[in-house]
Amino acid sequence: MPRIAGTDIPDAKPIRFALRYIYGVGPANCELILKEAGIDGQMRASQLTEDQLAQISTIIDNNYLVEGVLRRQIAQNIARIRDIRCYRGERHRRGLPCRGQRTKTNARTRKGRRKTVAGKKGVKELK
């Protein structure tokens, strides 16, 4: 299993799909990396030579934020907007959607499982 940018990539898949296993490399970045390296995207990861793997690895290291560095940067950005207490920071703090989605229904991914609140019991009227 080849290792690029600290991540094991599957060797049975074409390299254009295998590179997507690296956090921070999506379809568009993958195509740019392969074009710059001059490698056919349909080649299997196992068919690549050590030189080609090293070339892809250097391109990724020099031009892209990936893996731990990218995760750390995202976490720092979220911490910064929390600290300045802007609207988005408050939404992150409360665990609610930050980008304007509705919350009356849906939003279960951010809010978590439903918390049932007991309804108000009817008071019997005395005559």
| Mean pLDDT over the full length of the chain | 90
Q: Which CATH number does 3-64 carry?
A: 1.10.8.50
Q: Which CATH number does 68-111 carry?
A: 4.10.910.10
Q: Does the pLDDT of residue 75 top 90, yes or no?
A: yes
How many Cα atoms sit within 13 Å of 39 on the Cβ side?
A: 27
The predicted model gives 44-68 an average pLDDT of 91
The SS3 assignment for 57 reads helix
pLDDT in tens, 85-122: 999 999 999 999 999 999 988 889 998 998 888 877 77
- For CATH 1.10.8.50, the residue range(s) in the chain are 3-64
The answer to whether 1 and 11 have CB atoms below 8 angstroms apart is yes
Which residues are CB-contacts of 60 (< 8 A; sequence separation ≥ 6)? 4, 5, 22, 25, 33, 66
